[in-house]
Amino acid sequence: MGLRGWRDLAPAFGLGVLAASGQAPLGAWYLAVPAFAGIVWQVTAGRPAARGWAAGTGYFAAALSWIVQPFFVEPETYGWMAPFALVLMAGGLALFWGAAAGLAARLVRTTARQALAFALCLSGAEALRGVVFTGFPWAQPGHIWIDTPVAQLAALTGADGLTLLTLVLAALPVMARGRGTLAAALLLAMVWGGGVWQLAQPDPAAPGLTFRLVQPAAEQSLKWDPAQAERLYRLQTGYTAAEPRPDLVIWPETALPYLYTPGGDAALGVAEAARGVPVALGVQRVEGAAAYNSLAVLGPDGYQTAIYDKAHLVPFGEYLPFGDLAWRLFGISAFAARQGYGYAAGPGPRVLDLGPLGKAMPLICYEAVFPEEVNAAPERPGWLLQITNDAWFGTLTGPFQHAAQARLRAVEQGLPLVRVANTGVTQMVDARGRVTAELPFGRSGYLDAALPGALPPTPYSRYGMMPFLLLLGGLALTLARRRAHPSA
């Protein structure tokens, strides 16, 4: 492709960058929707696959710019990889967009129908992106609505339904110009109004529990410095011991700065500080030849009452494909693992019965971005518990995008979410995704917050992707019928 060809793709790339402004922390949906409309217009104007790929590359390069941050925690080892990681990540994920645009152009020829076909194909491609090759449903187009009443639609359709809505809103002006713009405005107003109504409904009864959320704000580059371990341990046990006493104390992911052993000195010290209050804390433990990233719950005597091992690990972050070979040849290990070259995966989603504290579904870090896995709980919990260490993601966008996606899980399930992060975002979230209490980002401290109540099971929690697939299929059948009968 010559220079002229690359220049032809520049507008699509720029529109992709603008569309990414809808993601947290900006949440500029009012810029993102017109940008998506521009992308739809671009792919219907010629070279659809190339322009779709260019738009996706710009979108993911901007939305996922935080991906370079982990490489600079140990820059002498990993820093050289940062630009390659961003370029390969953005260009690779953009292949889904290019394939969707190319398929839409092959299915239909007229601009109006191609616009709708692209919206449907890209919605399907984004749903696939969340599951293929272990899945990466980060920065979906539908996430632009998380901080608006429109997010309440996720209780019916999940995040994929929000993406379908976004892309249909973008396609309508291209399909019918002025009339399409009006139709898009009316559709958005209807969904927005429905969300406002839902948010105005009475809150469910709260269980009367107070949880202490501990945020140590450990700098990632120093987190595993042996000289810092005692300071971090004393800091967190000091927060744990503070009066008045809560019903549960929660530490973030890998917060215990020592290798965890049930009944060991470090665990007993935590229980001594808690003085009879249970503590849930993120730990690293070894069992046989395997290392695990885990959540341990300690009873009043300091002994383990429950354990959960993270099941969905981050590729290259917590394990390396062919990790033993990479370790032997290059001395490269997964970023987060402190034992060997990676963690082992736990058996899968589970619900912990914490007695008078209710039933909690634990999610460690990355696991909260996978709606279908949260939906795969073996039984309905009373609340969601996410512990995470977002210091890996920097301070500009990554932690806020991660927190926004976790809040969407609360909406989808109709369950309150307790989110405890090393540097933030640490929040208590109600069953409609609203933040009820929050710690300042990047500061060490603790927060005592009341656990909100749970709503009845949502349609999404009952039926999963079925409502989204029915909507997608219905629109596809309508498009196919009009293709077969142009006068219809």
SS (H, E, C) the chain: CCHHHHHHHHHHHHHHHHHHHHCCCCCCHHHHHHHHHHHHHHHHCCCHHHHHHHHHHHHHHHHCHHHHHHHHCCHHHHHHHHHHHHHHHHHHHHHHHHHHHHHHHHHCCCHHHHHHHHHHHHHHHHHHHCCHHHCCCCCCHHHHHCCCHHHHHHHHHHHHHHHHHHHHHHHHHHHHHHHHHHHHHHHHHHHHHHHHHHHCCCCCCCCCCEEEEEECCCCHHHCCCHHHHHHHHHHHHHHHHCCCCCCEEECCCCCCCCCCCCCCHHHHHHHHHHCCCCEEEEEEEEECCEEEEEEEEECCCCCEEEEEECCCCCECCCECCCHHHHHHHHCCCCCCCCCCCCCCCCCCCCCEECHHHCEEEEEEHHHHHCHHHHCCCCCCCCEEEEEECHHHHCCCCHHHHHHHHHHHHHHHHCCCEEEEECCCCCEEECCCCCEEEECCCCCCEEEEEECCCCCCCCHHHHHCCHHHHHHHHHHHHHHHHHHHCCCC
| Catalytic annotation, residues | 253, 310, 365
Question: Which residue in the block uniquely carries the two structure tokens 């260490």?
Answer: 389
Q: How far apart are CA 53 and CA 210, in angstroms?
A: 48
Q: Which residues of 79-109 are buried (b: 16+ CB within 10 A; e: fewer)?
A: eeebeebbeebbbebbbbbbbbbbbbbebbe
